[in-house]
Amino acid sequence: MMLRKMFVLVNSLVLAVSMASAADTAPARPNLSAADIVSKNIAARGGLQAWRAVQTMSMEGKLGAGGNQRAPLPMPIPGKGDAKLQVPARPKDEVQLPFVMKMERPRKVRFELQFHGQTAVQVFDGSNGWKLRPYLNRKDVEPFSSDELKAASLQPDLDGPLVDYAAKGTQVDLEGIEKVEDRDAYKLKLTTKTGHTLHVWIDAQTFLESKIEGQPRRLDGKQHPVEIYYRDFRPVSGLQVPFTLETKVLPVDTGSKVKELPIPSEKIVIDKVVVNPKLDASLFLKPNVESASIHN
């Protein structure tokens, strides 16, 4: 579960670093095309040439893990009819875990997470991936599973999915205007050259991404939709980056009279972002246990 959540968070962070803020307060314009909206989005984020000049990026901060205020589902006891085993309550509060993430074109990512005094590591070199999970008492570096490799291969480059989208083989369609937290937003559907689809909501006033569609998460035996919101935009080297990401796992309507309790949101708080830092090539090679925590 922890590694799966790390993958979701890494993908969220890669998308997040490509955002900027603007002061436009014009109302939504339904006559804008998808290409118009993308063009305004890139301009609001700092401009096409500015993003093409970004070759590397690093960030550090803290992410929430472990908290869950929902009531646990009782488990059936085999051979005992309707008898149920009461599952212990989940931890109520999230633990804030320090992380460091470094990125380099094309689509290279190294993610380190401090957990119980140990360093967990994920590395993706654009084609292959490796993981080190000492918190599970696994002391060896392991390759990504097929599902993990697929998730990593779907992540965008550090400039996000909209910059040079046509050159990347992505098709962008406008599906209409929707409310995102009481603000009009253009709903875009992105279809990559591999057939993967992603929805992105562009704020109609700032032309920034206000929400993206996250990878569905399996909880209590059911797949739940995921939404990721962005907060607290700050300037970094002429660009604007959100320093808080909020992930919301949505309840699923199963038709039952018993409604699920709300699932508490999860937050990533970024403390520092550096544009175009000098990164050693070894960061994106297969890690070894001895040097896993050296590159902080």
Among residues 153, 48, 58, 150, the alpha carbon closest in space to that of 107 is found at: 153
Among residues 2, 112, 133, the alpha carbon closest in space to that of 62 is found at: 112
Percent of the chain scored above 70 by pLDDT? 74
Q: Look at residue 116 in the predicted model and tell me its pLDDT.
A: 82
Burial class (CB in 10 A: 0-12, 13-18, 19+), 237: middle
pTM here is: 0.76
Among residues 263, 271, 214, the alpha carbon closest in space to that of 244 is found at: 271
Q: How far apart are CA 230 and CA 155, in angstroms?
A: 17
Band (pLDDT 50/70/90 cuts) for residue 165 is: very high
The domain limits of the chain are 2-70+90-284
Which segment of 23-32, 86-95, 245-254 scores lowest on mean pLDDT? 86-95
Torsion of CA 100, 104, 109, 113, to 10 degrees: -10
Instruction: Count other Cβ atoms within 10 Å, centred on residue 282.
Output: 13
Q: Pick the residue with more confidence: 75 or 233?
A: 233
Which segment of 31-35, 236-240, 289-293 scores lowest on mean pLDDT? 289-293
Band (pLDDT 50/70/90 cuts) for residue 16 is: low
Q: Pick the residue with more confidence: 185 or 8?
A: 185
CATH class of the structural domain 2-70+90-284:
mainly beta
Do the Cβ atoms of 204 and 25 come closer than 8 Å?
no
Q: Token digits for 18? A: 């490509």
Q: How far apart are CA 131 and CA 125, in angstroms?
A: 12
Q: Token digits for 188? A: 């875009």
Counting Cα atoms < 13 Å in the Cβ hemisphere of 164 gives: 12
Statement: residue 234 has pLDDT above 80? yes
Q: Look at residue 240 in the predicted model and tell me its pLDDT.
A: 78
Longest dimension (CA), the chain: 67
Statement: residue 255 has pLDDT above 80? no
Statement: residue 30 has pLDDT above 50? yes
Among residues 229, 140, 123, 214, the alpha carbon closest in space to that of 183 is found at: 229
Q: Token digits for 41? A: 């989005």
Pairing of strands 129-132, 266-275: unpaired
Q: What are phi and psi of 62, to 5 degrees?
A: -140, 145
- Taking all residues of the chain, what is their mean pLDDT, rounded to a whole number? 81
Among residues 211, 169, 206, the alpha carbon closest in space to that of 188 is found at: 211
Q: How far apart are CA 80 and CA 187, in angstroms?
A: 50
Omega before 225 within 30 of 0, i.e. cis: no
Compute the residue count for the chain.
296
Residue 39 neighbours by CB under 8 Å, 6+ apart: none
Statement: residue 18 has pLDDT above 50? no
